[in-house]
Amino acid sequence: MGLVKEFRQFVFKGNVLDLAVGVIIGSAFGKIVSSLVEDLITPLMLNPALKTAGAENISKLQWNGFTYGNFLSAVISFFCIALVLFWIIKGANKFIKKAPALSGPTEDQKLLMEIRDILKNKNM
């Protein structure tokens, strides 16, 4: 019974659930980016190149017998994802408040330290 309880505590901790949600959203986002790259960006960018290479889509691009179209699509997808993550992190950093630098004790704290020191010396 202890194993089940430990497992339940592990699974229902906030970090594990947050990670699971992140993985699911990341997977869905990856599909969106793949569609964006394969269906919109690549045809606009490589349409003349595809016609001269004799391929109808990017996955069939070849050079000296090596098919490089899928790799090219993956590279473009990576840069699209990296750009979106950069924008997200940059936007999030604007909302995160920076902790103010500690300038030393306040006047109230100094007064309390003096009282503490006086009481400490008085009791000795």
What is the residue-level pLDDT of the chain in tens, covering all 124 positions?
A: 688 888 877 777 767 777 888 888 888 888 888 788 777 777 776 666 555 555 556 666 777 777 777 788 788 878 888 888 888 888 888 887 776 667 788 888 889 999 999 998 887 6
Rounded to whole angstroms, the Cα distance separating 20 from 11 reads 10
Rounded to whole angstroms, the Cα distance separating 22 from 66 reads 35
pLDDT digits (tens, 9 = 90+) for 26-60: 888 888 887 887 777 777 766 665 555 555 566 66
Rounded to whole angstroms, the Cα distance separating 57 from 50 reads 7
Closest CA to 77 of 24, 27, 32, 26: 32
Q: Is the pTM of this model over 0.95?
A: no
What are the residue boundaries of the structural domains of the chain, listed by start? 2-98
- DSSP-assigned letter for residue 102: P
Three-point CA angle 87, 22, 72, nearest 5°: 60
CATH topology of domain 2-98: 1.10.1200
